[in-house]
A and B are shown apart, each in its own frame.
Chain A
């Protein structure tokens, strides 16, 4: 039998004399927590299902396009980067509407926000860290799909280098348009989440807003008759000259209106054709005012928070 060689002591409470990293560590911690919450990391398996399902849905169009490009050896004319953003923005909007409230609503509903506010962290730090966490995830999501699509287009081209030389401008366009899309998709649901403690209400409101404004925009810009080609450019919208302005009511299309300009692409839809008739400053101004206004609501609501 071996003899005991040591003893265990209960040293009691030990004061902490290690590093204290203050406000920057606090901001990082809220950011990382927001990142993990969005993806359901560190939570039960149920919390991971929805984020990864929606992540898969957002990536699916790019993957499908890549497969088609490789199988058909680029004989099929694939949709471009602008179209990809338009397709994926619908999935992203649903993703954001459902997941983003998780970053703000439970903290207020459970009262945890009062614990954040007594730590070395301002309320603006808290909101900014949460916003940034969701923005980074959304940005990674939109860029990932575009990278897949770009690679597939390059690799399936007869001469990849020539394709890149001809289309290199797509890269800054992808970056700029993705940034604008992610900023809008992050800010809208977070601003709505700042106004209610209940996640379901926030998600329902955002999705309802997209559906109603989308339907209203589509109806107000629809044409009462088309020419033989079926193109709406030659038709008069049912709302007459106001149609091109009324097309702006579709909230979900606000970032896409700007992205169409960035890619200098032509959109075949009635609404998009009408908006293209507007001065360029109008869709850009609408995007900036709406995104900036929502960001202000988010910030303002938290400045007025009482715990």
Chain B
């Protein structure tokens, strides 16, 4: 599988502030999530791969080239920023045609691409309305469309669902999945929303405080371990103590107790502890791990 993006000892400092510190990772085909809380260094990483920033040290390579030094490689990249980036006075059709040309596509072909892409993102009816009259959801689609207008090899999306209502967010994620899986355009999706990454990406790279803390297939993170959630009436502290006496570690998770299962014998210990503490069991179920647990584990 070819490497699309590669960070090698990638470091970026803003004065005394460390945005990225000696980060190493590779991105291949498919949809890759760049996950992390605000300030983790996601946007900085994206800007380094786009050539908008120069690394303090190390390198951010795109298709084997350095976009900061070689502007030509940017013709194969797409970018959807988090912030507003659309003119208000012209139509989506004109804007996409222009942006395709700025990416090197001749005018006639740019017009055709513009119409095709707007149809793919569901804006064919809005071709000739000024962008200033669009809703937030429609503007997000135009932002995605402009990143695809020149048929890039890889698109970098920075918080693409920002500002969208739940319905618009699901529509956008669906469109991103289509772009990655049906259109065959690789995607880097930067987000602080676990749900977005979990439902959309094939792989994730987790950034925290400028460092990569986790990396791998999304499925690996959602099935690697299982947690048993126990809802029982009674004193939770007594139950935790009773479980601990039987070698089972339980932690309070909301209104439930969470137990990391590693053997079937633990079920017997839970049953005996419930009886011993006279706790009435209301519900006991396995919970699949979510990506949020990555951050919970780090905080423990």
Instruction: Please pick, from B86, B102, B120, the residue contacting A116 in the complex, using a CB distance under 8 A.
Output: B102
- What residues of chain B lie closer than 8 Å to A112, measured between beta carbons? 85-87
Within 8 A of B (CB), among A108-123: 110-112, 114-122
- What residues of chain B lie closer than 8 Å to A43, measured between beta carbons? 89-90
- Is B211 positioned at the interface, with any CB of A under 8 Å from its CB? no
- Is B122 positioned at the interface, with any CB of A under 8 Å from its CB? no
- Is B103 positioned at the interface, with any CB of A under 8 Å from its CB? yes
Which chain A residue has the least Cβ–Cβ distance from B67?
Answer: A118
Residues of B whose CB lies within 8 Å of any CB of A are: 47, 50-52, 71-75, 77, 79, 81, 83-90, 94, 98-99, 101-106, 109, 113, 116, 120, 146, 150-151, 182-184
A121 CA to B87 CA, complexed, in Å: 19
Contacts A13-B183, A42-B90, A118-B52: A21 and B74 contacting too (C-beta < 8 A)? no
- Is A175 positioned at the interface, with any CB of B under 8 Å from its CB? no
Question: Is B103 a contact of A26 with CB atoms below 8 Å?
Answer: yes
A155 CA to B85 CA, complexed, in Å: 54
CB distance from A269 to the nearest CB of B (A): 42
CB distance from B113 to the nearest CB of A (A): 6
Question: Is A29 a contact of B109 with CB atoms below 8 Å?
Answer: no
Q: Supply 14 A–B pairs (Cβ within 8 Å), ascending by A.
A: A13-B184, A22-B104, A23-B72, A25-B104, A42-B94, A47-B89, A114-B85, A115-B79, A115-B99, A118-B51, A118-B77, A119-B103, A307-B47, A307-B52
- What residues of chain B lie closer than 8 Å to A111, measured between beta carbons? 81, 83-86
Count chain A residues whose beta carbon lies closer than 8 angstroms to a beta carbon of B.
Answer: 36
A33 CA to B90 CA, complexed, in Å: 12
Question: Is B71 a contact of A120 with CB atoms below 8 Å?
Answer: yes
Question: Is A18 a contact of B75 with CB atoms below 8 Å?
Answer: no
CB distance from B28 to the nearest CB of A (A): 19
Contacts A18-B105, A19-B109: A118 and B50 contacting too (C-beta < 8 A)? yes
A110 CA to B71 CA, complexed, in Å: 23
A307 CA to B47 CA, complexed, in Å: 9
Q: A14-B116, A19-B109 are in contact. List 18 more A-B contacts (CB 8 A).
A: A16-B151, A18-B105, A25-B106, A26-B102, A29-B98, A43-B90, A110-B86, A111-B83, A114-B79, A114-B85, A115-B85, A115-B146, A118-B74, A119-B74, A120-B73, A120-B102, A307-B52, A307-B81
A25 CA to B295 CA, complexed, in Å: 46
CB distance from B87 to the nearest CB of A (A): 5
- What residues of chain B lie closer than 8 Å to A22, measured between beta carbons? 72, 75, 104
- Is A44 positioned at the interface, with any CB of B under 8 Å from its CB? yes
- What residues of chain B lie closer than 8 Å to A119, measured between beta carbons? 74-75, 99, 102-104
A47 CA to B88 CA, complexed, in Å: 13
A22 CA to B104 CA, complexed, in Å: 4
